Amino acid sequence: MVVCVCNAIRESQLRDVARNGDVRCAKAAYAQLGRKPKCGQCLPFARNIISDVVATA
């Protein structure tokens, strides 16, 4: 599923970054992917994905 249309970031990419990196926020995860938020509408969903991965780690 595409999380961020502006940057073409998929849910699987965010989950990988959250699992493998030391990221706790969406902006840090985007930075790990070499991107940054543009319109920001994806940030709440991205935060939920990252929180879910961190909680189950």
The DSSP line for 1-57 is: -EEETTTTEEHHHHHHHHHHS---SHHHHHHHTT---SS-TTHHHHHHHHHHHHHH-
What's the pTM value of the predicted model, to 2 decimals?
0.88
pLDDT at position 24 is 85
Q: Which CATH number belongs to the domain containing residue 30 in this structure?
A: 1.10.10
| Number of Cβ within a 10 Å radius of residue 13 | 20
Residue 2's identity, in one-letter code, is: V
Average pLDDT for 23-28: 91
What confidence score (pLDDT) does residue 40 get?
94
Q: Range of 46's domain?
A: 2-56
Segment 19-39 mean pLDDT: 92
